[in-house]
Amino acid sequence: MDVTHRYALAVELERGLDDNEVAMHRRCDNPLCVNTGDGDAFAAHVVLASAAENMADRPLRITKHCS
């Protein structure tokens, strides 16, 4: 499980994530990236999503690592 991303999002949201919520990597597939946008959801690479949303998004994701 993606503990690092869940933790980064929990810090950003100032609450824990529910079991059915996932930290979805949206703009890049860099496993080390924990860019939650710092209050700017549009700029975030890691966003809150449901497990279903995460699966639906997967084929659309650009396989590209941010620097």
Residues near Zn ion, by CB under 5 A: 28, 30, 33, 35, 45, 66
Sign of the CA dihedral running 5, 60, 64, 42: negative
CB closer to Zn ion out of 23 and 28: 28
Residue 19 CB, shortest distance to Zn ion, in Å, is 25
Burial class (CB in 10 A: 0-12, 13-18, 19+), 65: exposed
Between residues 22 and 28, which has the closer beta carbon with respect to Zn ion?
28
d(CA 9, CA 43): 14
Residue closest to Zn ion (Cβ): 33
Residue closer to Zn ion, measured from CB, 51 or 65: 65
